[in-house]
Amino acid sequence: MIYRKGITKNSSRPLAAQSFFKGHFIPKLSVFAEFIEHLPAATEFGVTCTREVIHMVNLLINSTEPVEMSLTSFGGKPVQNSDGKFQWPTCGCCKLPMQFLAKILVNNELHQIFMCQNDPGMCDDWDANGDGNAVVVTIPIELEYAPTPSEGITLREVEHSVKVVEVEGNDYEKARNEWAERNTASPREVLGQVSGEPSWIQGDEIPTCNECNKPMKFVAQLEQGPDWKTEMNFGGGVAYLFHCDCIGSAKFLWQC
Ligand SMILES: [Zn+2]
Ligand SMILES: [Zn+2]
């Protein structure tokens, strides 16, 4: 998000000042308007400096560049620190290892998303508070690929990197379609967004942090992927990733 400085007129000007200007000092409003435009910080005349917020949408665009361990990528293998503390998440419902979907770089941390696909649709894998998905937050220091468990549906058939493209606006869907049109590409090449505002398919479903009980911060939105044969399974919908600063916890959910 960036800010642009601007000047706006403030209608909450003190009454005494208003009648003074109206009755005695400035005969023509247009002259008055020109006068105030040239005042840098004349708050006493009812003019305040404000910051007009320019929203940006950060689109994740499919890329053919090689995948890097410390950056956002889809499919492939999850990473771990060489301290050996990483544990591949297991589904609380079917007790089998979950499938690794993607890793998203958020504020210098990798949010590694796992979702149960051992019996699709049977393990509440859409639920931010269910046992069918998990987000493992990994600091990208001394990374290596995590060993793959011997049972369960654990990996996807694809692996691809992304580039982040910043476009002006605050509507993800609009930004996504406009990017595709501008680049004569399929909207499927847009894999989601990072930061910004979630574009909900159903109602607003911001999860609450288990630790501090506060609403979590939106960090990313993910599409199923560029190719229907290898895409992630969000029931034809979209996934959302959230984070809380208190202990660095993260949650994942999807809607369709
Ligand atoms: Zn399961
Ligand atoms: Zn918290």
Coil, helix or strand at residue 22: helix
Confidence of residue 49 (pLDDT cuts 50, 70, 90): low
The whole-number pLDDT of residue 52 equals 72
Domain ranges of the chain: 2-54, 56-255
Would the pLDDT of 6 be above 60?
no
Centre of ligand 2 to C-alpha 110, Å, is 18
Q: What is the largest CA-CA distance in the chain?
A: 86
Ligand nearest to the CA of 120: 1
Ligand nearest to the CA of 245: 2
Whole-prediction pTM: 0.79
Percentage above 70 pLDDT, the chain:
80
Centre of ligand 2 to C-alpha 46, Å, is 41
Ligand nearest to the CA of 249: 2
Give the integer Cα–Cα distance in Å for 129 and 131: 7
Centre of ligand 1 to C-alpha 1, Å, is 38
Give the integer Cα–Cα distance in Å for 124 and 129: 9
Ligand nearest to the CA of 213: 2
Average pLDDT of the chain is: 85
Would the pLDDT of 191 be above 50?
yes
Give the integer Cα–Cα distance in Å for 139 and 225: 25
Centre of ligand 2 to C-alpha 34, Å, is 50
Coil, helix or strand at residue 35: helix
Centre of ligand 1 to C-alpha 247, Å, is 26
20-34, 171-185, 218-232, 241-255: least confidently modelled range? 20-34
Ligand nearest to the CA of 91: 1
User: May I ask the CATH class of domain 56-255?
Assistant: mainly beta
Centre of ligand 1 to C-alpha 99, Å, is 10
Phi, psi at residue 182, to the nearest 5°? Answer: -60, -35
Residues in the 5 Å CB sphere of ion ligand 2:
209, 211-212, 244, 246
Centre of ligand 2 to C-alpha 177, Å, is 34
